[in-house]
């Protein structure tokens, strides 16, 4: 964790989104200061609070897309996934702590080999969780998380292929799919378990 640019909490939600949400009871950060400062994956992390609803709508890919479908960043490239069931899956109202890039050494491995790299206290995030991380990180820092390599997530498309997220400074956030076989340029995203 390095500085305020790696934390998106209640103050940041208020600063960027005003009164378009309800923060009745803010959940406590579920990890100790030591766990945050010395994570199991020794890479820079992004600690962020995620709401379950924004402007009365479930915080899912469809809501994010409709909020950021314009020409300015953050933005999305393509919308093919909006008709897919996973696009309706909302985030949980809780804190997340994710490495700011793919897990080191996970590039060009099969999905099962990538998962095997994760320490026990980590899991693979959903596509909505990783896209949310990219949007919130961009709002704070003016850049996305997944620009150097695509980040596999836990969801699969209806075709059975694993989803991945990548972001480009020109086009915005991409959501695509690939099978679980190794592919150069596709690593795995990770999220600290509760």
Distances (CA, A) of 125 to 3, 16, 133, 144, 161: 23, 24, 10, 16, 16
SS3 122: strand
pLDDT of 2 above 60? no
Helix, strand, coil percentages, rounded to 5, for the chain: 25, 25, 50
pLDDT of 13 above 90? yes
pLDDT score, position 4:
66
pLDDT (tens digit, 9 = 90+) per residue, 19-42? Answer: 777 777 899 999 999 999 999 999
Q: Say if residues 76 and 144 touch (Cβ distance below 8 Å).
A: no
d(CA 40, CA 71): 38
pTM for this model (two decimals): 0.95
Show the DSSP H helices in the chain as ranges.
10-17, 33-37, 61-67, 111-117, 127-141
Tokens of 165: 């997220």
Please tell me which residue, 56 or 141, carries the higher pLDDT value. 141
Phi, psi of 48 (to 5 degrees): -150, 145
The whole-chain average pLDDT of the chain stands at 94
């Amino acid at each position: 964790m390095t500085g305020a640019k790696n934390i998106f909490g209640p103050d940041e939600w208020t600063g960027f989104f005003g009164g378009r949400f309800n923060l009745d009871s803010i959940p406590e950060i579920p990890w100790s200061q030591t766990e945050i400062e010395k994570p199991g994956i020794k890479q820079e992390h992004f600690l962020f609070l995620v709401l379950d609803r924004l402007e009365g709508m479930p915080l899912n890919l469809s809501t994010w897309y409709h909020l950021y479908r314009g020409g300015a960043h953050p933005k999305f490239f393509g919308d093919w996934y909006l008709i897919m069931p996973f696009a309706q899956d909302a985030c949980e109202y809780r804190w997340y702590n994710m490495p700011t890039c793919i897990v080191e050494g996970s590039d060009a491995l099969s999905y099962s080999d990538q998962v095997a790299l994760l320490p026990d206290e980590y899991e693979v995030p959903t596509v909505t969780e990783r896209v949310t991380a990219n949007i919130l990180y961009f709002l704070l820092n003016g850049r996305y998380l997944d620009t150097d390599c695509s980040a596999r997530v836990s969801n699969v498309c209806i075709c059975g292929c694993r989803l991945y997220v990548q972001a480009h400074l020109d086009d915005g956030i991409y959501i695509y799919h690939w099978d679980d076989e190794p592919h150069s340029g596709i690593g795995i995203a990770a999220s600290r378990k509760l």
